[in-house]
Amino acid sequence: MPLLDGKSILVTGVLTESSIAFHVARLAQEEGASVVLTSFGRAAKITQKIAKRLPVEAPVVELDVSDTEDVEALADRVREHADHLDGVLHSIGFAPQEAFDFMGASWEDVAPALQISAYSLKALAKACLPLMSPGGAIVGLTLDASVAWSGYDWMGVAKAAFESTSRYVARDLGPQGIRSNLVAAGPISTTAAKSIPAFSKFAQWGEHAPLGWEISDPTPAAKACVALLSDWFPATTGEIVHVDGGFHAFGG
Ligand code: NAD
């Protein structure tokens, strides 16, 4: 039986074909799921075009996670395409360029990074809750926030908050049978990655990862997301699965 046979999955964060979320949506459909995408503003037109390149064209609903009205309307917008959700992928990250200068950034620069990249996991989980039932899964993507990275700055702090947020979502939704887990992916060349000024420094990742690492290949991270969305991690929540070629486990 396919891994997500008959499941209904909400996938945020498809911007281009390089988006990690695009590959999660693709693999989820290949594994038997029906998929609804979210996008917002001007990006929504691009997402609609990209949605046609999936094995099955997926509908796109409007969601800017920093817009309270969008968040409150999400369940009704999803209901136009799906009567319930078995899984939700959070694949959203944003920080203003100024936030990549740790000592120079102001609170006004940092606040959107924390709201859109960390708080949004709670907002998304709460918005989807009316459509979810026991066995449901929320999955997000992080870059290992247990250390400070050169060039990642307030986005790194936002990822630390994101990882903590996932644990609190796991705490509060666990009693309803809903899991919250993250994939800590190695660097992948996507639109969001290219907006990180020092992203090129991550090019050496594969040299320090025992399994090696292909920066242009989002599939390993996407496969882990699909696995965590499936019924094959029924007793796992608040967890962070590293999909980084083994980089995190070695001191060099
Ligand atoms: P991407 O640019 O393809 O995706 C980022 C998405 O965030 C876009 O679809 C964008 O529309 C969406 N987004 C931004 N602001 C939003 C808002 N206000 N409301 C709703 N959506 C919003 O890049 P990606 O690399 O696929 O990023 C997906 C996730 O993976 C992010 O959380 C990112 O931090 C994480 N991640 C990426 C890497 C990497 O190296 N690319 C590594 C580890 C984790």
Residue 89: both structure tokens together: 């992928």
Residue 118 lies in a domain: yes
Enumerate the H helices of the chain as residue ranges. 20-30, 43-51, 68-79, 107-114, 120-128, 153-173, 191-194, 205-208, 219-229
Helix, strand, coil abundance in the chain, percent, nearest 5: 45, 15, 40
How far apart CA 185 and CA 148 sit, in angstroms, is 16
Q: What's the gap in Å between 1 CA and the centre of ligand 1?
A: 31
Rg (CA), the chain: 17
Structural domain contains residue 66: yes
Distances (CA, A) of 130 to 71, 136, 171: 13, 11, 18
- Identify the CATH number of the domain in which residue 16 sits: 3.40.50.720
Does the residue 220 lie in any domain? Answer: yes
| CA–CA separation, 112 and 207 (whole Å) | 34
Instruction: Name beta bridge partners: 183.
Output: 141, 241
Residue tagged active-site, from 152, 168, 194, 223? 152
Q: 192 is in which domain, residue-wise?
A: 8-249
Q: DSSP secondary-structure letter at 142?
A: E
Asked if residue 218 has its Cβ within 6 Å of ligand 1, the reply is no
**Measured between alpha carbons, how far is 3 from 25 in angstroms, rounded to an integer?**
13
Closest ligand 1 atom number to CA of residue 20:
26
Q: Is 159 a catalytic residue?
A: yes
Q: Which of 7, 49, 122, 159 is catalytic?
A: 159
Has residue 1 been placed in a domain? no
How many independent structural domains does the chain possess? 1
User: How does pLDDT run along the chain (252 residues), one tens digit per residue?
Assistant: 999 999 999 999 999 999 999 999 999 999 999 999 999 999 999 999 999 999 999 999 999 999 999 999 999 999 999 999 999 999 999 999 999 999 999 999 999 999 999 999 999 999 999 999 999 999 999 999 999 999 999 999 999 999 999 999 999 999 999 999 999 999 999 999 988 988 888 889 999 999 999 999 999 999 999 999 999 999 999 999 999 999 999 987
Atom 13 in ligand 1: residue holding the nearest Cα: 92
Asked, for residue 2, whether it belongs to a domain, the answer is no
Q: Is 46 in the pocket of ligand 1 (CB under 6 A)?
A: no
Looking at the domain assignment, is residue 129 inside a domain?
yes
Binding residues, by number, are: 13, 19-20, 64-65, 92, 95, 159, 188-192
